[in-house]
Structure formats: C-alpha cells, structure tokens
C-alpha cells in the first residue's frame, strides 16, 4: 500500500479543515496519535489474516507464540501440517502460550498458526487497503476532535462558551460515521471468533 503516516496525516487535516500550516490546531503528534487509535479500532473489525509456522515442543502441550507481534487473536492451529484433510487442534491461549487441549502433545515439528494481526501505517508503508484509507482518516479525525474537546476550558476564550459542546457534537458525528463504516466492511467480529474457537474445541 502507498499510504504513509505523512500522507494519512494530510488526509486527516483535510477532513478537519486544518490545512493552514502556519496555524495548525492539531500538532503532528496529536494527529499521529489519533491515527494510531483509529488503526487499532479498524484492526478489530478488519484484521490482517496471517499464517505462521511455529515449532511445537516434543511431548508438550504448550506452544510459544511470542514471535507473533501485534497479535489480536489466534483463530486456528493446524497440526500435523500438510495433512488431507487439514488437522485443526483445539487449544487455549494464555498470554504468549498456546496450549493444546485434551492431552494432545506436540512432537517437535511445526504447527501452522492462523492468527489476526493489527494493521500499521508507518513512515514508508501501510497494511491498510487503499479502499479503506478514507475510513482510517474519518476515525482519526473523530479521535482528534474528541481530544480537542477535552481542552474546552483553555479554548473558551477564543472559541466561545459553547466550544466544548461544539467539539463534542462534531466528534460524536464523526465517530458514528466511523463505526457505521467499520460495521459495513467488517470481516471479523468477536462473535465470529468465539464461534470459530468453539467449533475448534469440539473437534
């Protein structure tokens, strides 16, 4: 993806009508923090689907998954791999450890862990699909406005007595648009994940 944090920052400022670089209402750090929050929310609805081979331990039910960075959740674990049909094992996750259930043991070979990862927007790359960048910008604007509303006391002299209500209403509208958009594009939900895990546990 071509969007970087700098281009996303520009998109957010456009939504905020905050494009006068000589008189920014939000600093770059504030915008970047808002983007980070929006990306985290987006990741709960449309996480990155990953499959990683992780070593099991011979005669142990536990599998170390600490190498799976920015992990949201684990959906399935396949072992033994390359079987037809695929062999998915029931498991429980606690922290950075997966535990096979019902006495199933690893044998030292790899298992395939199917997991969900948080998206990222960095200085040179992004994992967010181009078609969804406007949704991230919308959520980022909502978080930026909400943050601004918290400083209503300091802003009252320049914004008027109702500035806190104005920003709060603006943020509420933006958040509604953001979460409505997320609901429309959602590929996963906690309900779906729970159903998937229950199905795995019954195998």
- Give the pLDDT confidence of 117-127 residue by residue, as tens digits: 999 999 999 99
- Whether 161 and 66 map to the same domain: the answer is no
Question: What is the reported pLDDT for 165?
Answer: 74
- Give the pLDDT confidence of 128-154 residue by residue, as tens digits: 999 999 999 999 999 999 988 766 545
Question: Are residues 77 and 203 in contact, defined by beta-carbon separation less than 8 angstroms?
Answer: no
Residues 6+ apart with CB under 8 A from 108: 55, 56, 57, 58
Residue 16: which domain range? Answer: 5-45+120-185
200, with CB counted inside 10 A (0-12, 13-18, 19+), is middle
Q: Does residue 200 lie within any of the structural domains?
A: no
Q: Dihedrals φ, ψ of 68, to 5°?
A: -85, 90
Both structure tokens of 166? 């104005």
- State the alpha helices, DSSP H only, in the chain: 5-16, 28-45, 133-149, 152-159, 163-185, 190-202
- Whether 81 and 35 map to the same domain: the answer is no
Note the pTM of the prediction, 2 decimals.
0.84
Whether 197 has a pLDDT exceeding 50, the answer reads no
The CA-based diameter of the chain, rounded to the nearest angstrom, is 70
Q: What is the CATH number of the domain that holds 68?
A: 2.40.30
């Amino acid at each position: 993806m071509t969007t970087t944090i700098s281009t996303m920052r520009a998109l957010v400022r456009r939504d905020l009508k905050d494009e006068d670089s000589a008189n920014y209402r939000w600093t770059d750090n504030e915008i970047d923090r808002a983007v980070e929050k929006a990306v985290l929310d987006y990741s709960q609805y449309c996480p990155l689907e990953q499959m990683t081979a992780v070593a099991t331990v011979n005669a142990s039910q536990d599998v170390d998954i600490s190498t799976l960075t920015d992990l949201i959740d684990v959906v399935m674990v396949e072992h033994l791999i390359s079987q037809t049909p695929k062999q998915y094992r029931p498991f429980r996750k606690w922290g950075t450890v997966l535990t096979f259930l019902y006495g199933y043991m690893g044998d030292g070979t790899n298992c395939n862990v199917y997991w969900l990862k948080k998206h990222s927007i960095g200085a040179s790359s992004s994992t967010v699909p181009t078609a969804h960048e406007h949704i991230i910008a919308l959520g980022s604007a909502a978080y930026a406005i909400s943050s601004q509303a918290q400083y209503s006391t300091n802003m009252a002299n320049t914004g008027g007595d109702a500035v806190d209500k104005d920003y709060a209403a603006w943020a509420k509208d933006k958040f509604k648009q953001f979460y409505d958009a997320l609901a429309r594009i959602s590929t996963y939900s906690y309900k779906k994940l729970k159903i998937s895990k229950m199905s795995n546990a019954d195998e």
